[in-house]
Amino acid sequence: MISRHRGHMAIGEVAEACGIPLPTAHRLLKTLADRGYIRRLSNRHYALGSRLLSLGLSVNALLGAEARTLLLRLVDELEQSATMAVLSGDKAEYLAHVPSMHTTRTSVELGRRVELHNTSVGKAILALLPPREVRDIIRRTGLPRTTEFTVASEGALLAQLVEVRQRGYATADSEREVGIRAVAVPIPGSLISPMAISIIGPVERLSDEAVEKAIPVLQAAAAEFSRQILPPAAQRAGEREKSPA
C-alpha cells in the first residue's frame, strides 16, 4: 500500500485506506516502526523500513522458484518464452523467466523492472488496480514512448485497461520493442502485490491464432499459481467475490 502511494503516507491516509480508527492506525504504525518495517519521516509521514528489503527479496525469490515449474510447462505447451512479474513501486519486476527453444530478439532479466504502460504484464497488473491508483502512477511516471506504437496518452491507456478487465488478458504489440508481441493475464486473488503471467515472442511466431490458443492456457496457469500460494481462506474469499449476489 505505502509503496504504491508515492512511497510514503500520512497516518490519516493509512487509517482511511485500511478502514480503521486513527488511534488504531497510530498504534500499528508505531509497532511497525519500532521493529524496523516502516520508518517515520520528518514530515510525519511513514515510509517502508529497511527490514522489508530482505523480506521482500526472500518473498520474490520464493515466488520465482514456485513459478518456474509452471512457466516450464507453458514453454513446452505454447513454444513461447514465459515470464511472471509483480508490481514493484511504479514498475513491473520480473520474478521468473523461462526462454523458449527459439532464438528471440528480446531479453528478460530476473529482477529487472520495466514500465507498466508498454508491456503486457504491466497492463495486466494495472488492470487489477483502481482507476484512481492508475492515474496516480501515470502522474508520477508519465508515459514515455519507447517505440512509435507505445500508448502515449492517459485516455488511451485507461480505455485499454477497461478492455483488459472485460476480456481478462492484456497484449503489447511492438510497444516496448518493435517486432515483439506479448500477451499476459493477471494472477487472481488477494496477493501481497498484483502479479501477472505472460508469454513473449516475435510477431511472426506469436500470431493471432497463437495468442487465441494461449489465452485459456495462461488463465488456467494463473489460477493454478494463485491456488498454490494463497491460503485456503483467501481462496474462499476470492471465490465469494466472484459469486453472484
Average the pLDDT over each of 32-46, 153-167, 201-215 and give the range with the smallest value.
Answer: 32-46
Measured CA distances, 66 to 56, 95, 227, 229, 241 (Å): 15, 10, 12, 8, 26
CATH 3.30.450.40 in the chain, residues? 54-236
**Architecture of 54-236 per CATH?**
2-Layer Sandwich (3.30)
H-type helices in 45-153, by residue range? 51-78, 120-126, 131-141
CATH number for the domain formed by residue range(s) 8-49: 1.10.10.10
Does the pLDDT at position 12 exceed 60?
yes
Q: Encode pLDDT of 48-76 as tens digits.
A: 654 554 555 555 665 666 788 889 999 99
Cβ 84 vs Cβ 96: under 8 Å: yes
Interhelix angle 22-34/11-18, rounded to 10 degrees, is: 110
pLDDT of residue 1: 64
Collapsing DSSP states into helix, strand and coil, what is residue 122? Answer: helix
pLDDT of residue 68: 84
Which part of the chain has CATH 1.10.10.10?
8-49
pLDDT of residue 55: 57
pLDDT tens by residue, 34-45: 776 676 766 778
Q: Which helix (H) or strand (E) holds 86?
A: strand 81-88
pLDDT per position as a tens digit, 98-132: 888 876 666 677 778 899 999 999 999 999 988 88
pLDDT(136) > 60: yes
Per the document, the length of the chain is 245
Q: Residues 134-151: what's their mean pLDDT?
A: 93
Please check the confidence at residue 139 and state whether its pLDDT lies above 70: yes
Report the pLDDT value the prediction gives residue 190, as an integer from 0 to 100: 52
What local confidence, expressed as pLDDT, does residue 83 receive?
Answer: 93
Binned at pLDDT 50, 70 and 90, residue 217 comes out as very high
pLDDT band at 175 (very low <50, low <70, confident <90, very high): very high
pLDDT at position 241 over 70: no
Give the chain's mean pLDDT.
Answer: 82
